[in-house]
Amino acid sequence: MFTTEVFVITAFVLFSLADLRYRVVPGIEIFFLSAVLLGALGNPWGVAAVVFSVAWAWIRSWPVALVWASLFNPAAWPVLLTAFGVRRGVIGGADLWAIGGLACLFPWSAVILSIVGVELWRRWWQHRHPGPVPALPGMLLGLLAYLAGQAAFNWSI
């Protein structure tokens, strides 16, 4: 495994435990800033689009037309969708920081698999626990599925 994967898996395991136990994820902003710094080395324009999309969720006075530039980067699409949910109050802010950090470090398929992991986790969680769903364990499951697929693909070559 590379340093980036170890950093993200360790962070997401700790964040998932905090999300399950306390329903608050301390340090997620630091994770996002670290992911921005690591991702900017390889893809500065893609990271800029993701940062712009995350900022759009928090700065309410920005019109929607300013975000159109982010539509040219596919990695920013899930971040824009999550940012829209944060602006409407449907999705938590920690989920946006986490998706933004993943979009800075991993390709589009990893971000989509983490969102699929959130949906599978939500279905399992809602069946057993009524109320709000902690999303970060689902993102961890989706990310682990992506990394397992990458490892299986690389070993088969």
Tell me what pLDDT residue 64 has: 79
More confident residue, 154 or 82: 82
Q: Which of 68, 141, 143, 138 is nearest to 105 (CA)?
A: 143
* Digit-coded pLDDT (tens) for 54-87: 999 999 888 877 788 888 999 899 999 999 999 9
Q: Which of 36, 24, 79 is nearest to 67 (CA)?
A: 79
CB 86 within 8 A of CB 92: yes
Would you say the C-alpha torsion 29, 34, 39, 45 has a positive or negative sign?
Answer: positive
Q: Which of 90, 81, 80, 85 is nearest to 53 (CA)?
A: 80
Report pTM.
0.92
Tell me what pLDDT residue 65 has: 79
Quickly count: other Cβ atoms within 10 Å of residue 14's Cβ: 15
As given in the structure block, the two tokens for residue 153 are 């693909």
Give the Å distances, CA to CA, from 78 to 24, 27, 95, 96, 104: 22, 22, 11, 10, 12
pLDDT over threshold 70, residue 135: yes
Q: How confident is the model at residue 141 (pLDDT cuts 50, 70, 90)?
A: very high
* Digit-coded pLDDT (tens) for 12-56: 999 999 999 998 899 999 999 999 999 999 999 999 999 999 999
Q: How confident is the model at residue 8 (pLDDT cuts 50, 70, 90)?
A: very high
More confident residue, 157 or 45: 45
The structure tokens 């800033």 sit at 33
